[in-house]
Structure formats: C-alpha cells, structure tokens
Chains A and B, each alone.
Chain A
Amino acid sequence: MTDWAQPSDFKEWGKRMFALRPLLIFTLICAIFILELRFDWIERLLGSYLVTTNSARPESGSIWEKSHQTRTAQQTLEQIITDRQALQREARSAASFTQIAASVTPQNGVMLSADHFRQLYVRLAPTIAREIIEPLDLLVFVSKGQWRRTYFEKSGSGLAVYLLDADNRVLRQLELSSVLLSQLQRGEVALAESLDELPNFKNRIYTADQFFESLESFHEEARHSMLPHPELLLAAPGQIVRVGISDETQAGFIELGFEFFADNQRRVLVVQGQEWAVWRLRAHLEGLDQDQAPGQPQGQK
C-alpha cells in the first residue's frame, strides 16, 4: 500500500481533484442534492414510511381528542334518547293509567297525545273518571281544540298530569294520587268513604245481606255476569256492609258499589257488572223480578 503523501504542487492537486473517484463522489453528492431539490425524494420516502406505520400509531392530538369527545357525546346522547324513547314507547302502548304510572320515573316524565289520554280516560269506570276530571270539562277542552298533548310526571308518590296546548302551556293540571293509582292497579275502584257520598248510588243502596241473598237466588251464569270479578272484593280488607247499584249504564255495564268497614273506617269499591244481569238483580231486590229488564239477552229471562 502506498503511503499517502501531500501533493506538492498545483498540478498534483489538480490531478488528484479531478481523478475519477472524487469526481464520482462529487457528482453523486450533487445528484443527491439536486434530485432532492427537484423531486423531494427524502420527504416522499419518509412520508411513505410514515403511511405504513399510520395504523399502529396512537390516536392522539387535538383532533383525535375532539373526535373522542364527539364519540362520547354521541354515546351519551344516544343513551338519553334510548331511555327516553323506551319510556315513550312504553307509554304509547299503555292501556291504562297504571301502566303509564309504571313507566314514569322521577327524572323522566312521559308525553302522550291528547287522543291517547282520552282513550285511557274513557276506559275508566265513570265514577273514577270523574275523580280525575269531569267528563264535561274534558269535553270542553276537546271542543276548544287547544289541547294537543298530555304530560305525566311524578308528583310525590302520585302523578301530575298536564293537559298542554301547542306551546306546551298547561291548560289544566290534574292529579292522580298514589291511593287512586294503587287502587287502579289492583283493579279496585275505591272512591269514597260511604255510598251516600256517591250520587249515582244513593237511590239504590241495600244491606249486604239483602244483596247477597238476592245474588244467591240466581243461577251461576247470571251471578257471574252480575259480579265478574268477586276476587277483587275478596282481596279488600274488612267486611261488606252495604251495596249500591248505580243509576247509570255505560256500554252495557252498570257499576256496583261495595261499602267496606275495616279498622273503624269505611270505604267504597266500585266494580262493574253486565247491564242485563244487574237489572235482573235490581228487579229482584225491589220485588219487580217479573219485569223485563232492558238489554237482557234473549233466553235469559
């Protein structure tokens, strides 16, 4: 190997500088530099490499944070909406006020259409319906055309009911007390402490002995039509002391009011019996059983 020696003159310098190897290195460096300036190949190379690692990198940085926040917000909203819609669905399919009451939570009330409220209302026994709102009052609201929706919310242990206009203004506030709701839930209709307080019944009040003696005189089918759900009365505490028969009929039914006495207190439960059967019972009680009762089906006489 030849020892490196310092060039002694310009000629030697020139020979060495313009030798093939330095020229090649120089050209290469220049080429790299020019090509980079012209074609940005380093940036492209790095960029391409970064694209390959993209999926393995973290979702960090402000835009991802925002994205996560958006996702969280959407999930929260979805949860709220899902809960709310579930409540609304439940309420919309409710066939009674007790089912509505079951779907209302302290945090969330439910909204029904005015028509739905009316459907539920007319299913109630007239006497209990009056406890909520007089039918005539409701008719006035319907006829005015302002009542659009009905909002139910928890109020203490009962329900507050708001009849709303199109601007969500309360036209009338109603109350469904917890006592009323629990009675509705049990299928009972306890309305008052005494039959004397109920105008529909006051003309036909009998002692329990009179009533049940008369009831026993009928055959099984008629008895069942007169008192379709005796178990409701059995479930009520106390002793039946008086029974009233309503003056009014509704859709083929007549209400019977049973006055109970328990713990030194009186209360009335109302149930419904089929019109033709109750008419026969009433006729029997009044000694008129030879009369034809209205609405009696053929062959029942």
Chain B
Amino acid sequence: MSTFAVWMRRIGTICYLALALAGLGALVSAGLFFIALHDLPRVPDPLGRIIETPPTEIFASTGERLMIIGGREVVPLNRISSEFIHAVIATEDHRFWDHHGLDKLRTLKALWVTLFEPGKIQGASTITQQLAKNLFFSYQRTYMRKFRELMVALQIETQYSKREILEAYLNQIPFGVGAYGIEQAARSFFGKPALELNLAEAALLAGLPKSPTRYNPYRHFERARKRQQLVLARMVAVGYITAEEAEAAAQTKLQLAPLEGGTPRGSYFLDLVLNDLEERYGPEVVYHGGLKVSTTLDPQQQNWAIESLQSGLLKLDQLLGITAADDAGATHSSSHPQGALVAVECTSGAVKAMVGGRDYSETEFNRAVENNRLPGSGFKPFLYYAAFEKLKLMPNSVFVDKPITVPVAGAPDWRPKNFRREYEGPMILKQALTKSVNAVAAQLVERVGPEAVIDVARHCGITSPLSPVYSLALGTSGVSPLEMAAAFTTFANGGVQHKPFWIRRVEDPLGRVLEEHIVRGQRSLDASIVYQIVDMMRGVLTSGTGGVIRRLGFDLPAAGKTGTTDDYRDAWFTGFTPTLCVSVWVGYDRGISMRDVNGVGITGGRGAAPIWADFMIKATSGEPAREFVVPSDIHFATVNPINGAIAGAWVQHKVKVALRAGQTASNAPVQPTETVTGRSATEIMDEATLQKGDEPATQTVGQPFVDTADDSLIREEELPPD
C-alpha cells in the first residue's frame, strides 16, 4: 500500500470516528435530556410571577424604613438606565440579543479552556442561563445541574421575549447589602432610581453581581473601582461606548449613598425585632408574608448611640494601651473590649436605641440582650430599696463601714471587701450608696436577705436567673444591659414598671393590623421609697462614683449607678433622667481584666460612664430640665453624713436627704445595734471615727445562710472620681 493510501485511510478512519463520536454524543445528549426532563422544574407563567413575594418592611418610630426583607422593587426595562443595561449585557453576555439561550461559540471556547488549559475554568453562562440558575437551582456545581439549567434556559428563550427575560433578570439579581434587583440597588448604593444611573454608576453596579461581597464598594472600594473599569472596558470592546467615554466614566467621582435599610445600622436592634417576630409568627410569615412592622427605634438616637459607644471604646482602647499592632492575628472582637448600650424611654418602656457591640459586621452577638454579665454594684439600688421597705431604714440611717464576715453554712465565710481596702467608719446610707461601699451593702443584704432583693429586682422587671445568695446584692448574678435599663426605668417612673418593648405595631401587606402594643405601666414599687432611692442615686452623679458625668458637661437632673465586677471584667453605668434610661456595659467577651497602661483597673465610672454621658448629652440636647416628681409625703433634711442627725452650721459636707412621712433626721436608726463583741454601735462609730484608716476588728453579724458565691467575687469598684 502506498503512503498516500495509508494516509487517506487514516483520514477516513478519523472521519468515521468523529462521526461515530458525534452520533454517540447526540445519543448521550438525548439520554441526558430525557433524564433531566424527568424532574425539570416548571417555568412560571408569566415570568413576572417570580417577584410576587411581598417585602417585609421594618420602620423606625419616625416612619423611616430601616429594613426590607424579600420582595423586589420591580421596574420595567424602560425605567432602567440604558447605560446599565448595556453594561450588564457587555459584561455578562454580549451576544444576548443573538443567541437562543446558549452561546455556542463562547461555550466551545470555555470548554477548550477548561479542558486544555490546566487550572483554568471559564464560565459561559448566558443571561438566560443565569436567570434559570437563580430561579430554580442551587449553587451546587455539577454537570447535571448545568445541563438542566441549560434546558430551562432553552424553554425560557422559547416561551418569552428577550425583553421579558432581561427585565426578569435585572429585577432579581443580587447586588449585596440586601439589595435585590436594579431598582433597589440603585436606591441603596446611589440613592436614586435605576433610570437615573449615569455611566460610572451603572458600570460599578454592573460589576457587582459577579461577587457582591467581594466587590462591595462600602468595604472594598478600590476593588469595586477596578471591577468598574473592567466593565467599562467590556463596553468599549462590545462597542456600546467609546474609549473616551469609558475614560471619563472611570474618572468620575462616585458618591455612595449612606447605608440605610438592610444595612449594619441598627442591626443589633433589627436582629432583636426579627427574632421576636419569628417567635410570634414563624419564619415563613416574617420572610415571605410582607409584614409592615413599626418599631420603637429612634434613628437619630441610634446613630448617637453607635457614635458614643464606638468613640468611647476607642478611648478605652487607648487607656488599655491597645494599638493597631495588637490586631495582628486576632479578630477585632477578641483583642479589643466590647460594649453595649441600650436606651429605653422611661414613660413607656420603648427601646429607642440599642447597640450590641462595637461593630456589627465583625460580630453579630448582641451583647445588649444576650450577654448576661455581672452588674456589680449596679444591683445595689434594688438592695437599698428592699432594705428601706423591709427594715424601715432611711437615707440617713447610719451604718459602719468596716470589714465584715458573714458566716455561710456549708461554705467559707463571706468577706466582701471595699475596693480600696479602706474603711471610713460610720456613714449614712446615702453616702454608702453614693460611694458604693460594699461593706455597708453586705450588712444590708445580710439583714434583709437576698430573697427580698430578688423580689425587688423581679418587680422592676429583671428576668434573668438570680441566685438567692448574699453576694447577689453586689451583683453576682448576670443580667443584660436591656434588663438593667428597663429595670431602672421603674425608679425613674416613681415605681411604675413598664415592660421594655420594641415592636409598636404589625400589619399585613394590606395594612390590616395584626397586633399593636399597649403601653401599660404597673405600680411595682412604693413611690416614696423609690424617690428616696432616686435621690440617693442622684448623688452618684454629683459627688459619687459617676462624677465624671457632670464633669463631662451633662447637667440635666439625672440619677444612676456605676458597677464594676471582680478584677475589672465588667464596667457598667446605668442611669436615667425622668424621660430616658440608658445602660452601658463595657468589657471583654472573654472576661479578661481591664487595666490601663499603669495597671489601674477600669471601673464603671471610667469605662462606661463617659459613654453614657456622651450619649445623653446628644440625646437630651435641647430638652428642658425636668425634675423627678417628688411624692407629696417626701420632705428634705440636711444631715451630718457621719451620724445622720440634722447638720449644724459647723458640719462640713452636709448631705441633703429625702425623708418620708414620719421619718426625721433625729430618728434615723443606727445600725447595727448589736455586735459580736458586745460593744454598742456608737462605740464602734466612735472608734471608727477616731481610727479612720486603721483596720477595725473584723465583725461577724447575722444568721447563717447558704451562700455558694465566691467570697471575693465582688469588690468595691470605685476609684475616686476621674
């Protein structure tokens, strides 16, 4: 056989093989087709049905929309900027107008690259295929899924016009930041309708669907900008624009709109609202029911809350000596202290602002609600109320600040200590609360019993589990900032408790009311005793552990209480005016001690109170000074802070106290009346007065009580005012 014949024979064989392979391919395709057809999804008719889900919208108390879930803002093609349409077609599928759902040349090229260029995978999905994928299929990458996707695309192409397909596609693609569809995206990113997008904006948006997170311009602006340039280059290549126009668009300054609904602002609050709605109606109704939810959030106060907390935490970082270098290898949330702030309207219980951490995008854990941390001395107002009510004590009742030991059956003795390990001897209760003296608080709880303190806390709305142990009065049971803020509104309201709430009203898509909140208060505490406690708590701001608040310039009538836990793990300040109650917590998620660069601990007065003051100055700006309502049976007396008697002209540092009917400065009980040494309280007072600064003899008081708390868990927290 000649060489020529051999070659011809080979060519012939190749031709037959190719034909056979083509036949086989056709057979396999036909087989695949029928297999895929078996459970191919039905295509809705009309195609617009895909966007029928009504959106659930969440509104602030001002009517501003905070979030939109699901649903689409559908616009016809003629309400979309032609630049954007061109940009999308140039980027995603430049032969869109020509093919029938499958771009064969691009598919062959992609197949070639995928098969013969190792490590490279090229996609060739047309807009119709992408639409089919988005509508019906998961993002699982399998050949069968691709094939079925292609089949559906072919059907869509046959059933609908190109304009219908493009319109459906543009109205459902995700752009990130919760925006689905071009209208929503244009409004979210540029605050304008899709029709008004210019070339630069259109190119930026057209680049996002490829990876909305990776090209999110709010987070990765430069990356998004490069992607925009790529889109512009594609538009030039396809012939939609000239190179000059592309250059001009690339140079155009992009003005991104501030992030609004569906964005991190207020997201801790929105999470709370959504969780609550899910519990009441179920996830299906929340995410697909098109609810209209009016909440209590005040966007202005929310912004101030975020600003105050973030700036306060930055200052705290500086105090703690945390630098940017410390962030290396650690997430922000673990290397930096966290914080939470909750603002509650006193007269209703409406939550006006809530921040659950320093940055929602880093950690979604809502410390304002879910983080039960020890409140420390922040719990003392409940104790003092219980003591006033049960023991008939008064703000000028005298106790001796001294080391004490409380025997506990079956457990080591409880020896609460003052922060500075110094004891001031006799002092009236108002001074003891203002200075947050643990030794006096321990004597009170030992006498009144922890159950009474729990009872008061429950009446104020604390719902977290509380252990009936002595140390409870010093804040050894965890509570959330929301609970603290809501509970303190009971003091601000003269003893009327309002349950905190965040949803005012829920309507269905047609505006029919599903529920509305009834603002009801319940008298929980005695108004006169409450006023006495409030009057004492006012002293915390004027001359006590929260003095920094006045020095920072907050001058409206207000009351509050600091709190710091063992080893400076938590720093709190919860305070209120007659209208607004705010609780601030700062601390590490992992419970690390907070000490400044000099080793001095961060107390509630140093860590939380400045944030509180900063927020309150903004939130109450322009408000007239409102005084707390004084019950009719309250009268005032100026007393000696050491013996509680009416202060003579010669007495320094006189203290004004609020007394109820029947209480006088002269009948203030002196406590305790009996000691283990058999000496009188007056003797102890005299001795303490004489030996101030010395360590008085340890005194054991009270009946045995099972207390499982660590006896050194809480210490007096407060530094002298900053």
Question: Which residues of A line the B interface, CB within 8 A?
Answer: 6-10, 13, 37, 40, 43-44, 46-48, 50-51, 53-55, 57-64, 66-67, 69-70, 72-74, 76-77, 80-81, 84-85, 151, 162, 164, 167-170, 173
Q: Which residues of chain A have C-beta atoms less than 8 A from B41's C-beta?
A: 57-61, 64
* B159 CB contacts on chain A under 8 angstroms: 47, 51, 54
Q: What is the chain A residue whose CB lies nearest that of B54?
A: A70
* Binary flags per residue of B321-356, CB closer than 8 Å to A gives 1, else 0: 000000000000000000000000000100000000
Residue numbers in B under 8 Å from A59 (CB-CB): 41-42
**Which residues of the other chain, A, contact B287 by a CB distance below 8 angstroms?**
69, 73
With the chains together, A162 CA to B512 CA distance in Å? 22
A76 touching B101, Cβ below 8 Å: no
Interchain CB contact under 8 A, B285 and A67: no
Q: Supply 18 A–B pairs (Cβ within 8 Å), ascending by A.
A: A8-B5, A10-B4, A43-B102, A46-B155, A47-B156, A47-B159, A51-B159, A58-B39, A60-B39, A64-B41, A66-B53, A70-B54, A70-B289, A76-B289, A80-B508, A84-B512, A170-B520, A170-B521
Distance from B530 Cβ to chain A, minimum over Cβ atoms (Å):
20
Per the bound structure, the CA–CA distance linking A37 and B106 in Å amounts to 12
Contact B40 A47, beta carbon cutoff 8 Å: no
* B304, CB-defined interface residue at 8 Å: no
> With a CB–CB cut-off of 8 A, which chain B residues contact A80?
281, 508, 514
Please pick, from A44, A72, A168, the residue contacting B518 in the complex, using a CB distance under 8 A: A168
Known: A70-B288, A168-B519. A77 touches B508 (CB 8 A): yes
The answer for the CA separation of A76 and B281 in the assembled complex, in Å, is: 9
List chain B residues, Cβ under 8 A from A51: 155, 158-159
A74 and B289 in contact, given A57-B41, A60-B41, A162-B518 (Cβ under 8 angstroms): yes
| Contact between chains at A168 and B516 (CB < 8 Å) | yes
What distance in Å separates the Cβ of B120 from its nearest Cβ neighbour in chain A? 25
Measured CB to CB, the nearest residue on chain A to B26 is A42
State the CA gap A63–B102 with chains docked (Å).
22
Min CB gap A231→B, angstroms: 40
CB-CB contacts below 8 Å: B142-165 with A: 151-152, 154-159
A40-B99, A43-B157, A61-B41 known; A6 and B5 CB under 8 Å? yes
User: What is the size category of the interface that chain B forms with chain A?
Assistant: 35 or more
At the interface, yes or no: B282 with Cβ under 8 Å from chain A? yes
Across the interface, A57 reaches (CB within 8 A) one of B42, B100, B291, B519, namely B42
In the bound assembly, the distance between CA atoms of A21 and B74 in angstroms comes to 58
Q: Which among B2, B4, B43, B137 is the interface contact of A54 at CB below 8 angstroms? A: B43
Query: For residue B5, which residue of chain A has the nearest CB?
Result: A6
Chain A residues lying within 8 Å of B45, measured Cβ to Cβ, are 54
The answer to whether A44 touches B137, judged by C-beta atoms less than 8 angstroms apart, is no
* Pairwise interchain contact A62-B136, C-beta atoms closer than 8 A: yes
- Residues from chain B with Cβ under 8 Å of A7 in the complex: 5, 8
Task: Evaluate contact between B520 and A76: CB separation under 8 angstroms.
Answer: no
**Residues in B neighbouring A53, C-beta threshold 8 A:** 37, 40
CB distance from B681 to the nearest CB of A (A): 46
Contacts of B236 in A (CB 8 A): none
Cα distance A52–B575 when bound, in Å?
A: 70
4 additional contacts (CB under 8 A) given A53-B37, A69-B287: A43-B102, A62-B135, A162-B518, A168-B504
Q: By the criterion CB–CB under 8 Å, are A77 and B42 in contact?
A: no
* Chain A CB within 8 A of B138 CB: yes
Say yes or no for B104: interface residue by CB 8 A criterion: yes
A151 contacts B158, C-beta separation under 8 Å: no
- Cα distance A103–B519 in the bound complex, in angstroms: 22
State whether B518 touches A164 (Cβ < 8 A): yes
Are B33 and A46 within 8 A (Cβ)? yes
The tally of CB-CB contacts under 8 A between chains A and B is: 148
The smallest C-beta distance from B709 to any residue of chain A, in angstroms, reads 38
- Whether the pair B284, A64 counts as a contact (CB closer than 8 A) is no
**Which residues of chain A have C-beta atoms less than 8 A from B155's C-beta?**
46-47, 50-51, 54
Whether, in the assembled complex, B649 has its beta carbon less than 8 Å from a beta carbon of chain A, the answer is: no
CB distance from A300 to the nearest CB of B (A): 51
Q: In the complex the two chains form, is B9's CB within 8 Å of A64's CB?
A: no
Using CB atoms, name the residue of chain B closest to A64.
B41
Partner-A contacts on B (CB < 8 A) = 1-2, 4-5, 8-9, 33, 37, 39-45, 49-50, 52-54, 99-102, 104, 134-138, 151-152, 154-159, 281-282, 284-285, 287-291, 348, 504, 508-509, 512-514, 516-521
A210 to chain B, nearest CB (A): 47
Among all A-B residue pairs, the 5 with the closest Cβ atoms: A47-B158, A61-B136, A40-B100, A73-B289, A50-B155
With a CB–CB cut-off of 8 A, which chain B residues contact A173?
Answer: 520
Partner of A77, one of B40, B134, B514: B514
Most buried by B among A6, A10, A61, A169: A61
CB-CB under 8 A from B152, the residues of chain A are 50
Cβ-closest chain A residue relative to B137: A61
Known: A40-B99, A168-B519. A50 touches B158 (CB 8 A): yes
Residues on A with beta carbons closer than 8 Å to the beta carbon of B291: 77
Q: Is the CB of B514 within 8 A of A162?
A: no
A170 & B151 in contact (Cβ 8 Å cutoff) = no
Also in contact, A77 and B289, with CB within 8 A (given A58-B42, A72-B284) = yes
| Nearest chain B CB to A23 CB, angstrom units | 14
| Chain A positions within 8 Å of B9 at CB level | 6
Which A residues touch B50, using CB under 8 A?
63
Most buried by B among A10, A13, A73: A73
Given the complex, which residues of B lie within 8 Å of A81, measured CB to CB? 508, 512, 514
Residues of B within 8 Å of A40, CB to CB, are 99-100, 102
- The CA of A267 and the CA of B96, in the complex, are separated in Å by 89
Given contact pairs A50-B151, A57-B41, A151-B518, A67 touches B52 in the complex (Cβ within 8 A): yes
- Once the chains bind, are A73 and B100 in contact (CB under 8 Å)? no
Give complex CA distance A278, B513 in Å.
49
* In the complex, residue of chain A having the shortest beta-carbon distance to the beta carbon of B148: A61
A261 to chain B, nearest CB (A): 38
Collect the chain A residues with CB atoms within 8 Å of residue B4's CB: 9-10, 13
Q: CB distance B100 to A43 under 8 Å?
A: yes
Q: Determine if A50 and B289 form an interchain contact, defined as CB atoms under 8 angstroms apart.
A: no
For residue B517, which residues in chain A have a CB less than 8 angstroms away from its CB?
168
B157 close to A47 (CB less than 8 A): yes
Residue of A nearest to B138 (CB): A62
Name A44's contact: one of B2, B100, B290, B519 (CB within 8 Å): B100
With A47-B157, A50-B158 as contacts: A66 and B288 at CB distance below 8 Å: yes
CA–CA, A118 and B499, complex, Å: 29
- Give min CB distance, A73 to chain B, whole Å: 4
Closest chain B residue to A26, Cβ basis: B15
**Bound Cα distance from A74 to B504, whole angstroms:** 21
Instruction: Give complex CA distance A121, B43 in Å.
Output: 60
- Bound form: Cα–Cα A47–B135 in Å: 17
Contacts A77-B289, A167-B519 given; indicate if A64 touches B138 (C-beta within 8 A).
Answer: no
